[in-house]
Amino acid sequence: MPVNLPLPVADQLLPVAGVRLGTAEAAIRKLGRRDLSLIELAPGSRVAGVFTQNRFCAAPVTVCKEHLASGGIRALVINTGIANAGTGALGIANARASCEAVAAALGLAAREVLPFSTGVILEHLPVDKLVAGLPAAKGALKSDGWYQACHAIMTTDTQPKCASRQIVIGGKTVTLTGMSKGAGMIRPNMATMLGFLATDADVAQPLLDALVKEAANLSFNSITVDGDTSTNDSFILIATGASGAPAITDAASGDYKQLRDAVVDLAIWLAQAIVRDGEGATKFMSIVIEGGKDRDECRQVAYAVAHSPLVKTAFFASDPNLGRILAAIGYAGVTDLDVNALRVWLGDGREEVLVAENGGRAASYVEEAGARIMKSAEITVRADLARGDAAATVWTCDFSYDYVKINADYRS
């Protein structure tokens, strides 16, 4: 069961002018399940993306980067079941063949198509199956296809992740709708994580390029489930310009700021949704590190806590085992950390309790308070390193029997 993650409601997912989505059963993942999605963009749409840092980046990621560089993207094709990663030269050829097939179906050039794959690594993509599924996906294209698409891009996800926002720019309503998938192999610099966020705002390409990076850093690059970085992670920001709202060309403008805030807000929602649906997750944890010398140091400490299997299993057990949190902060690599100045709090949104100070347990701390908070489904660990003014937040989930079960059984 995901942690406080609402199911999408079909009529609350708002169409984005200039975007049509269609899905099909292509039998790439398994029979009787939609595993192929097509997204068609109106001419003039602008697209920007950020991708995995893994040296074994998947073939579709390589092709995506190449096609994005030439601009003019008109379609996206997404398959589940096979990641097309660690597949060498044939993998690249298969990713290109997928783009060519989509281009032929929609009357485009192959370089106008972005390919995405997610699933098992090292297996070759059955392009014939993908091609055979395209007519059905094309036939299903519709502007209110987000509900079907957010289902069709899932792998080990237990539920779809999709949401919409609206803002008003120049008197015109601008819509943002996004969907994400991913439940494991999630950590900084993306993950087996796909995120697609489309808006009908009209945004200049340089602003869109900067915005996709900023939004990714504050959202998808601030989550972790298991510390593994996938080969296929991609976050794509689409601006069709079809809303009729005035073009945004100035990063200092109020319009840009308004759009930026909405994009970041939705991206954080989509990223947190992945953690809430983390493999085997029973708790949603926010690790907030303050008082660091710089943001990198705060992130380093936050990730040490968020990745510790001992911390994660203690949260699963609702056990306020503060020692494991302190130990993780202690080995995070801040070699001159003054543990006597460090303070740590546990909170659940209703109350916050000081648990550690002066190099040990806080004098005022009583275990009942910690135990009460640890029973909550949403828990914040906040630490003040007392070294400076920087801060960073990382979101993660606990580590349960089901994490092992899901990942030991994944291919069987």
Is 231 known to be catalytic?
no
Give 343's DSSP letter: E
Residue 358 near a copy of itself by CB under 8 A: yes
HSE-CB for 204 with a 13 A CA cutoff: 11
Classify 197 as helix, strand or coil.
strand
Residue 375 near a copy of itself by CB under 8 A: no
Among 199, 231, 240, 380, binds a copy of itself (CB under 8 A): 231
- Given the residues 192, 240, 282, 396, select the one marked as catalytic: 192
The one segment of 26-34, 160-168, 259-267, 397-405 that binds a copy of itself by CB under 8 A: 397-405
Site map for a copy of itself, 14-53, x if CB under 8 A? ---------------------------------------x
* Shortest separation between residue 242's beta carbon and a copy of itself, angstroms: 38
Nearer to a copy of itself, 46 or 96 (CB): 96
Residue 235 near a copy of itself by CB under 8 A: no
Whether the Cβ atoms of residue 83 and residue 233 lie closer than 8 Å to each other: no
Whether the Cβ atoms of residue 114 and residue 67 lie closer than 8 Å to each other: yes
Spacing of C-alpha 247 from chain mean position: 27
Q: Where are the alpha helices (DSSP H) in 252-361?
A: 254-276, 295-307, 309-316, 322-330
Type and span of the H or E element at 347: strand 343-347
Residue 324 near a copy of itself by CB under 8 A: yes
- Report whether 279 belongs to an annotated binding site: yes
Whether the Cβ atoms of residue 177 and residue 149 lie closer than 8 Å to each other: no
Residue 184 near a copy of itself by CB under 8 A: yes
Sheet of 19-24: strand order equals: 19-24, 36-41, 75-82, 113-120
Q: Return d(Cα 104, Cα 38) in angstroms, integer.
A: 13
Site map for a copy of itself, 198-227, x if CB under 8 A? ----------------------------xx
Q: Return d(Cα 336, Cα 331) in angstroms, integer.
A: 11
Active-site residues, by number, are 192
Residues making contact with a copy of itself (CB under 8 A): 53-57, 83, 85-91, 120-122, 184-185, 189, 226-231, 307-310, 313-314, 316-317, 319, 321-324, 326-331, 334-335, 337, 339-340, 356, 358-361, 399-401, 403-405, 407-412
